[in-house]
Structure 1
């Protein structure tokens, strides 16, 4: 009788499982870093989109629009770490809001909020957002100039020395 061996031995199966476990241990930290980078980039995209939308709304409707940090989605505060809201100060209408879950955003500007005038400019000059990772490192910056335009920078700019922008 001639039998063909179609299965794997226990030793072969253990070797394959061991190799898969080693590969998973190597890939998991890289995947975690990749997922965190994607989450931060999505946050930057969303914040930049909301700022551009606030500016466009102020120009289209010929009224002031503010963007400010908010903890409850209703009131402006200086701290942006819990989220932000976009509102029309004239009638108190909240146009949009975003709550954060663990990400770190810090606004460094002359005032606690950003006010877009009906011509799309901001009143208080330049400012910048620092978007930080879990290790308190700056991963992205959104730089807002007085004309209301946004410049996106990955990490810190050349020769930029900032002490604890995320701390």
Structure 2
């Protein structure tokens, strides 16, 4: 009685590896693109929700509320980088500094891996007045692909305090507005 060994031959194994490599080469770029779209949508959502909540808090509480980039969730950064998150806080003194931990209404730290967020030059924070207005110049928060600094979209807040999101029809360089 002859015993037959079961298993793969070298040729079958190499064909299997080639098929798996082909499927991965097709699927991985699609997955990377899908992950970027999810992070982009998350950045848009997190920013617009935080801005809407800040405006609502300013109107309902009758005080100035500030939104600014923050690295530690306690104080504002002085640059235009929003990648590490941002805070929303009651700013009665209107000086852009949270008076204490109890004044911070929200600490946002979304997953922005591979995405950078930058605000308009000269506008490192956004303040809502008790009327809901955000006086001064419009603020633009640019959402860019970190790898090649191509703009994926932006959130713009006008003087009336209304935030809107825009997505370009074609990728363009991510440069801040003066």
Q: Give me the TM-score of the superposition, normalised by structure 1.
A: 0.80
Q: After the TM superposition, which parts of structure 1 deviate over 6 Å for at least 4 consecutive aligned residues?
A: none
- Tell me which residue corresponds to 2:140: 128
Paired residues, number: 157
- Give unpaired runs (5+ residues) of structure 1: 1-6
Instruction: For residues 3-49 of structure 1, give each alpha carbon's deviation from its aligned partner in whole angstroms, at most 9, with x where no partner exists.
Output: xxxx9974556534422320111210221121112112111111110
Secondary structure of the residue aligned to 1:44 is helix
- Give unpaired runs (5+ residues) of structure 2: 1-5, 93-98
Query: How many Å separate the matches in 1 of 2:34 and 2:91?
Result: 39
Quick one: which of 132, 140, 155 aligns to 2:153?
140
Structure 1 residues 163, 84: closer, same or farther in 2, change over 3 A?
closer
Query: How many Å separate the matches in 2 of 1:18 and 1:47?
Result: 44
Structure 1 residues 121, 109: closer, same or farther in 2, change over 3 A?
farther
Shift of 1:69: 1.3
CA contact (8 A) 2:119 2:176 kept: no
Q: Which has the higher contact order (CA 8 A, sep 6+)?
A: 2
Q: Give me the TM-score of the superposition, normalised by structure 2.
A: 0.76
Query: How many Å separate the matches in 1 of 2:159 and 2:76?
Result: 21
Query: How many Å separate the matches in 2 of 1:35 and 1:94?
Result: 31
The 5-angstrom pairing of residues 1-167 of structure 1 reads 10=9, 14-79=14-79, 80-90=82-92, 92=100, 93-99=103-109, 102=113, 103-108=115-120, 111-134=123-146, 135-155=148-168, 164-165=175-176
